[in-house]
Amino acid sequence: MSYNQPPPAQPPFAGPAAGQPGGRPAWARKRVVIPAALLIFFVGVGIGSSGNNDQEKTGAGSPAEPQPTVTVTKTAAADTTEDEDGKQTSDNKAVTDEDKKATVPNFVGMGLQSAQDKAQEVGFHGLTSHDALGRDRMQAFDRNWKVCSQNVKAGASTSTETKLDFGAVKLAEACPAKDEKPLAAEGGKMPDFAGKSVKAARGALDSGTSITVQDALPDDRWVLVESNWKVCTQTPSAGASLSGQPVAFTAVKFEETCP
């Protein structure tokens, strides 16, 4: 026997055999296999019970989310009274522009622009003006005109919605004793236009009327600004029936004398 040979290999220790002292029972060495369907069933039951617990925790009386805050604003109650029928009526009424009143100043003698500024300062904003001489001129530059009359008497208390109308003339002109009323062809009759401005005469007739205007003087001038010319003669004559016939005027400037 050679002393240089290695000892024989020993089998691995397997432990005591089943049933031997110190050994494991036979059933402990077997693997337990749980079917997949059964495993899924237990997992589903666990999730369901967890959901029920969450619902119980967040049920009525235990809100899971913060509830919105409701703010109640109290308003003062309107004073109410009872009418004859026992119905309650409110004393609180909305104030409208029509309920606002102001005292009308005296505008006569003021420059038209100054009068308008004063009216707006008091609270009147519906303003208009007209030619007090009846020549139907436009008040293109208010500072060149002065107030001769007003449609609402000075000192009157009236709604600020009232429209104020100023009768005005140019600064170098004298105010008339009373405003010239607008001309009108009433009853289908030809008005008396003598001394009236050609512009006012044209405005009094139907817009479809054919009108010719000639210089009453032999100068044969063009009548361009009709509010600066006055009627000397007319055809048809005053009082004649108007049935659509043409109308003819002769005229001169206001500072001139008709021939």
Tens of pLDDT along 210-226?
A: 999 999 999 999 999 99
pTM (whole model) above 0.85: no
**What is the pLDDT at residue 185?**
87
**pLDDT over 70 for what percent of the chain?**
62
Q: Is the pLDDT of residue 91 over 80?
A: no
Give residue 171's pLDDT. Answer: 98
Nearest CA to 148 out of 197, 107, 103, 200 is that of: 107
Q: Among 45-59, 103-117, 168-182, name the one with the lowest average pLDDT.
A: 45-59
The ranges of the chain annotated as CATH 3.30.10.20 are 98-170, 186-253
Q: What is the pLDDT of residue 183?
A: 86
Q: Name the CATH topology of 98-170.
A: Trypsin Inhibitor V; Chain A (3.30.10)
pLDDT at 74: 47
The arithmetic mean of pLDDT across residues 152-176, rounded, is 97
**Class assignment of domain 186-253?**
alpha beta
Binned at pLDDT 50, 70 and 90, residue 96 comes out as: low
Cα–Cα distance measured from residue 147 to residue 113, given in angstroms and rounded to the nearest whole number: 9
DSSP the chain: --TTSPPPPPPPP--SPTTSTTPPPTGGGSPP---HHHHHHHHHHHHHHHHHHHHHHTSTTS-SSPPPPPP----PPPPEEE-TTS-EEE------GGG-EEEPP--TTSBHHHHHHHHHHHT---EEEEETTSS----SSGGGEEEEEESS-TT-EEETTSPEEEEEEETTSPPPSSPPPPP--GGGB----TTSBHHHHHHHS-TT--EEEEESSTT-----SGGGEEEEEEESPTTPBPSS--EEEEEEETTS---
CA dist., res. 232 & res. 252, Å (int): 7
The per-residue pLDDT for 61 is: 46
**Residue 42 clears pLDDT 70, i.e. is over it:** no
Show Cβ contacts of residue 180 under 8 Å, excluding neighbours closer than 6 positions.
131, 132, 133, 134, 135
List Cα–Cα distances, 49 to 35, 38, 57, in angstroms.
22, 17, 12
* Distance separating alpha carbons of residues 193 and 3, to the nearest angstrom: 165
pLDDT band with cut points at 50, 70 and 90 for residue 184: confident
Average pLDDT, the chain: 79
